Structure formats: C-alpha cells, structure tokens
Amino acid sequence: MTYNSVSTIPELVQELANKLLAKKLIMATAESCTGGWISESLTSRAGSSNWFDTGFVTYSDDAKQRLLEVPSSLFEYGGPGAVSEETVRAMAHGAIRNSRANIAVAVSGIAGPDGGNLEKPVGTVWIAWQWEDKILSRCFCFSGGREAVRLATVMAALEGTLTLLG
C-alpha cells in the first residue's frame, strides 16, 4: 500500500464511492483519533447514503467496548492498549458486526500534542481495514501537529480502503 498520494480528500472519496457502488458494498467507519473526520469526508459527498451506513466515533476505551464490542482485556494492564493492531482489528470487526456494512475502516492513534511515550510517540496511528474475511492492518508514525496527524490518518484510511478494493 502506498500513502503518499497527491489526491485530495474529495478525489479519494469520489474514487471510493465509484468502487463501492460498482461492487455493491456498504461501508462503515470506527474512529478514535480522527473524531469522525473520515465519516464526515465520506458523507460530504451527495448520494453517500447509497454506500455508507454508519460511523462509530469511539474516543474512549469504554465506548470501544460498548459500541464495537472490543474486548476489555485489550485495555487492561499489560494489554496492548487502545493504540494497537489488536484494537483496530477488533474495531473494524465490530463496525461490520454492528451495522449493515460489509467493509470497514478503523483508526486509533495518538494525535498529540500529549499522550505519547517512547514506545508509542505522538503520531503513532494504527489503521485496520476489513472486507469479508480479509483484514489488513498497518502502523503509521505521522509527523506534524495534531491536525496534520489527523489529516494524514484520514488520507491513509481512505487510500487503504481503495487499495483493499483493488
């Protein structure tokens, strides 16, 4: 997957809409660090109700557990935590399970300016994509301030969804 696109969000959404419609797929999002920005980007396109079902904004660990059925063990002491491959994979799966979607993207990260540490510095973001039984995940370390990290996350989430769809 490549993530150095010169495309704009509206261009990515247009391409994604075309692919989802052609494949008769319905999408959902599960977002933490982006706070609904991916869903907003998708629904800013007229006609998105034909291929977008719902967006879960699950900023807290509790919300991830209640709305997406992410196992509480992931957040316990010694567990991988909210910003981890295991969590975003569970979020993507939960988004599909709790909606009418058959494809989902999930994001969780540390946008800053605080919250990072040596193991997971500010800019660390995990993204997972699930379509049917295929699930992909990737860790990114984006640079810049809070909004730059969030924007890079939205772009990578959209580009990764396009890659998954082929």
Per residue of the chain (166 residues), what is the pLDDT tens digit? Answer: 344 456 899 999 999 999 999 999 999 999 999 999 999 999 999 999 999 999 999 999 999 999 999 999 999 999 999 999 999 999 999 999 999 999 999 999 999 999 999 999 999 999 999 998 899 999 999 999 999 999 999 999 999 999 999 9
Q: Sign of the CA dihedral 21, 133, 161, 105?
A: positive
Instruction: Identify the H or E element spanning 14.
Output: helix 9-23
CA 43/CA 104 separation, integer angstroms: 15
Span 9-165 CATH architecture? Alpha-Beta Complex (3.90)
In sequence order, the β-bridge partners of residue 75 are none
Cβ-Cβ contacts under 8 Å for 32 (sequence gap 6 or more): 57, 58, 59, 64, 82, 91, 107, 108, 109
pTM of the model: 0.95
